[in-house]
Structure 1
Amino acid sequence: MYWDILLIICIVCAVLCAVGFYKYVYFLSIGYGFAIAGGGLTVLIIALKNGWAEGVTFLLILQALLFLAYGARLSGFLLVREIKNAAYRKTLKEATGNDKKIPVFVSISIWVCVAILYTAQVSPMLFRYANGSKDIVLPIIGIIISACGLCLESLADKQKSEQKKIDPNMVATKGLYKMVRCPNYLGEIIFWTGVFVSGITTYTGIGQWLMAVIAYICIIYIMFNGAQRLEKRQMARYGNDKAYNAYADKTPIIIPFLPIYHLNKK
């Protein structure tokens, strides 16, 4: 299972997501991006140092760059949005109640749990090179899937920002938002689907499979839970708006063509 290497990655993730002690929501947002980027770079350094990627170094570098791009984009986008957008800061404060102090032991518990989760999320990359796998077809397919997910997330955030500038009092409904109401969450699921797929041919033993599968399931759960909480906030704000209800009642919430339109409608 390479517990010693996983511990190193976990420590790196913990250090980088410790920004959550400033605002606990950062454990799951800005610190998340930092941790994923740092975890990927840590695997890159360790794999190169140990000579694990001989013959497939280009794959190792591509995957590391993908994690770096993912983390930098996510944390950068969230930082800029929070700094520049007063309306978003107000919404974030209302949604998380982050003016309230939470007990230190709760913060520490969240910190430890997310550091472990982020380590599990990047573990498919570690297992591929530590196990000495040399196949390239499935890893390349996984990388392409992840790149598509990253592009989808990026475009969704860009379109949402542009539409909010035009009409800040309405949810985004154009572009990718015609396909699903949470295309950024869909992009997140696609990104981590690619990461999981990239390691399928290399997982050895029940421990590696469990870590990879549990991390993937957690991400899907987190995305659907996030969509549920978002819908609850939107219903509270736009529930009496006919245009919003017409849009929400005909647009799937996360998965295209899957007729799941509401997760929390009241």
Structure 2
Amino acid sequence: MTDGTTKQPLTGHPPSQGPWLWPWSGWPVLWACCAGGLVRIIYAFGYGYGLSMAASAAMSWLVRFHLPGREVGGPQAVGLGLYAAYGARLFGFLYRRQNSQSYLSSKSWSKVDAKTAATPLGAKAAVTTFVSLSQTLSLYTLDTLCAPSARLAIEAGPVRQYGLAALSAVGLALEAVADEQKLAAKALAPDAPVMSGLYTLCRHPNYLGEILFWLGALGHCLVNSDASWRRKAVASLGPLFMVWVMVGAAARLDADALAKYGADPAFQQWAGSTPSLLPGLR
């Protein structure tokens, strides 16, 4: 008799940090991905973030599978794909936004550009380093899924193997659609609030998508790994940090929007009737 579960194949490799104290040794590559922050500090948060996610997927595949000749399992392939898709999507979106005339002519960009120009190089280097270190924690999360183990393989059905990855994919799609809707709205009115589309459900659907992506990705990496609880605890730091960042960013943007658009009756009605992050909650 079977219980409807499938057994993941054993890799035959002993537990290992991998070569060169992996994944911590991936930090220089991630720092290089974020090095645009030395020019404009927002490039570390934007382009650097996207490049780091894609680089994390590529390095994880190279170090954990290609070089040792290991076969990529289904859950591992999905995890690698989520990171790569997130990075490629974010970089492409930011590139298009950064080169759109509506964005470059907006008051928001003028303020950001002026602030960036006044930021000392030392501060830019510190932020670049901090962002790259946070991305190293996210790489550690993915490596918890990809690292070989000598312990017995996990008994896991399809829901356990892929259910949380589906949540992550939904979050990625939600964030992508919300970003595109906001970009289109800003092309028509660069300095007006976005209150249509997904923004009728909550004030920050893009941030909600980011939160769902990271919670799903974290869950996927943890439930498909038989790593120790200590390793899983460390693996949780990067994604949970990003969730905390998104919640804080939503609160800051709400305050900024109130100061900027608070006198607009339409904005007052929208802000008063639309939740910040979770649809259905006031």
TM-score range normalised by the length of the shorter chain? 0.7 to 0.9
State the one-letter code of the partner of 1:75.
F
Alpha-carbon distance in 1 for matches of 2:178, 2:208: 10
Q: Counterparts of 1:152-231 in structure 2 under 5 Å?
A: 152-201=174-223, 202=225, 204-231=227-254
Confirm or deny that 1:77 pairs with 2:99: no
Residue identity opposite 1:121 in structure 2: S
Distance in 1, matches of 2:126 and 2:187, equals 38
CA gap 1:233/1:168 in 2 versus in 1, 3 angstroms: same
Change (3 A) 1:139 1:22: farther
Distance 1:50 1:98, change over 3 A: same
- Deviation at 1:50? 5.2
Partner residue of 1:124? 141
Equivalents in 1 of 2:101, 2:85: separation in Å? 23
**Residue 252 (str. 1) matches residue 275 (str. 2):** yes
Alpha-carbon distance in structure 1 between the residues aligned to 2:157 and 2:110: 45
1:124 and 1:99 mapped to 2: Cα distance? 34
Q: How far is 1:60 from its partner?
A: 2.7
Q: Which amino acid aligns with 2:50?
A: G
In structure 2, relative to structure 1, the CA distance for the partners of 1:228 and 1:92 (3 Å cut) is farther
- Write the distance in 1 (CA, Å) between the matches of 2:167 and 2:70: 21
- Output the CA distance in 2 between the equivalents of 1:185 and 1:145: 15
Q: CA deviation at 1:155?
A: 0.7
**Deviation string, structure 1 residues 123-169 (Cα, Å, up to 9, x no partner):** 23211221435546334122211111111011111212223334444
Q: d(CA) in 1 for partners of 2:220 and 2:281?
A: 25
> How far is 1:191 from its partner?
0.6
Counting aligned pairs with the same residue, the percent is 26
Q: Which amino acid aligns with 2:253?
A: L
Q: Distance in 2 between matches of 1:246 and 1:53?
A: 56
**Structure 2 CA distance for aligned equivalents of residues 136 and 118 of structure 1:** 30
1:150 aligns with 2:168: no
Deviations along 1:53-89, one digit per CA (max 9) or x if unpaired, are 54x5343333222212211111111121111134456
More relative contact order, 1 or 2 (CA 8 Å, 6+ apart): 2
Q: How high is the TM-score relative to the length of structure 2?
A: 0.82
- Give the unaligned 5+ runs of structure 2: 1-15
Give the number of aligned pairs: 257
Offset from partner CA, 1:28-59 (integer Å, 9 cap, x none) = 111111011101111111121355854x5343
Q: Deviations over 1:202-230 (max 9, x none)?
A: 25334422322222221111101211222
Sort the Cα spacing of 1:63 and 1:130 in 2 relative to 1 into closer, same or farther, 3 A.
same
Q: Does 1:60 align with 2:82?
A: no
Gaps of 5+ in 1: 260-266
Q: Alignment partner for residue 119 of structure 2, among 76, 81, 101?
A: 101
Alignment TM-score, normalising by the size of structure 1: 0.87
